[in-house]
Structure 1
């Protein structure tokens, strides 16, 4: 049986991904922050394995490694994310950048390190980092985000995550572990952009289809609604 680890799996895209991968027969390993989230998940997905831990805590990497001690993972989806509505220099604060960087970049690193042994047990395993079009330095330089309302902290942390994706791809390629960045589309969620037009359910279906067809190559940076993105 194939297996998938999903962080931030209790709502939005994370929950939709868990539902879709479960329906496809994947064994689920889900990471959430609270006991109540775990209880709610198990009501809907009773066969899931759920770890309660915040990806930003110092103990997370060790706990994850112990939790997966005898597990083989085909796919990791680093979905846990954080954002702040502070799109201007005047409104942004250093604390916002620290919070987003901890979740969107360091949390991803901790997940990969904590799950690395489990990934190595499978051939051609896959790490999917849920990124954003707003993490593209090329698009930022072409003014794509100007006036969009997207926060400094979100754009900066996703750009950092993209660099992490490329660093991981360099290191893990020789281990037959692919690492990709995926913009899930303009999702209709709580933190939706003004031009949002895709449900988390549709986004999850699109991503699952790409995984099943083995279309994702290491170092890919892809939008699920428009195709390849520039780094």
Structure 2
């Protein structure tokens, strides 16, 4: 077995494809999902080295669910992949409800905070511990300020939430590097079938493969902090 990996948002899309990649490459996988039904489906598909966690990263009690499940099988986590996310809705300021921005901040930013807090003791026991936050090019202040996406009409809430997540990543990196824990933000690429598919060039399974190979072979001393695996570094 190569190590233990915790993956949030693991029942579909990129998270599900990451579970497949890591499991098929001999990792022990802890997929975090929101429903018992999703957990049962994963257990039916993988009869070993896969231990689903039923929890909602939007709620504080997810921390106890994460810790109790992991504790049943191991005392260490080597990789945490914060992939859980939801899309925004409103693309014009007049239609943006504060509740929408609050909802996305809770998932993309506070959800990451909760998961990392829950996993910290296990990470400190891990071999080459790594935290990977699945961000987005839309969270880059530099790209937004350059007007690269001026006419694309992306949602306010998603861009704000991913920018906040990026700042959280920077703050954690400045603290955790002293503890030997590597943390990175990644843009997974633009999916052909996704909401940004106007310039999409990747199938989800292809993106998962790029991400797996990058994480599996990470050089923790490299200076890049925000990158697209298989492509290169992005500006904050």
| Separation in 1, partners of 2:41, 2:70 | 22
Q: 1:1-231 residue pairs with structure 2 within 5 A? A: 1=1, 2-47=3-48, 48-69=50-71, 70-215=74-219, 217=222, 220-224=225-229, 226-231=231-236
| Separation in 2, partners of 1:25, 1:134 | 33
Alpha carbons 2:54, 2:65 under 8 Å: kept: no
Question: Structure 1, residues 83-118: CA drift from partner, whole Å, max 9, x if none?
Answer: 123222123211110110000000000000000001
Alpha carbons 2:214, 2:230 under 8 Å: kept: no
Which runs of no fewer than 5 residues in structure 1 stay unpaired?
A: none
My pick for the range that moved more, 62-71 or 166-175, is: 62-71
What TM-score comes out, normalization by structure 1 length?
A: 0.94
Alpha carbons 2:224, 2:233 under 8 Å: kept: no
| Separation in 2, partners of 1:192, 1:144 | 14
* Runs of 4+ with >6 A deviation: none
What TM-score comes out, normalization by structure 2 length?
A: 0.92
Compared CA separation, residues 14 and 59, structure 1 to 2 (3 A): same
- What is the CA distance between 1:192 and its match in structure 2? 4.1
Where 1:87 maps in the other structure, the secondary structure is coil
Question: Structure 1, residues 137-185: CA drift from partner, whole Å, max 9, x if none?
Answer: 0011001221212100000000000000011111111111000000000
Alpha carbons 1:130, 1:182 under 8 Å: kept: yes
Alpha carbons 1:150, 1:193 under 8 Å: kept: no
| Separation in 1, partners of 2:142, 2:202 | 24
Alpha carbons 1:180, 1:218 under 8 Å: kept: no
- What is the CA distance between 1:45 and its match in structure 2? 2.1
| Separation in 2, partners of 1:91, 1:84 | 12
Where 1:222 maps in the other structure, the secondary structure is strand
Where 1:179 maps in the other structure, the secondary structure is strand
Compared CA separation, residues 215 and 207, structure 1 to 2 (3 A): farther
Compared CA separation, residues 219 and 115, structure 1 to 2 (3 A): farther
Aligned-pair RMSD on alpha carbons? 1.6
| Separation in 2, partners of 1:71, 1:149 | 45
- What is the CA distance between 1:191 and its match in structure 2? 3.7
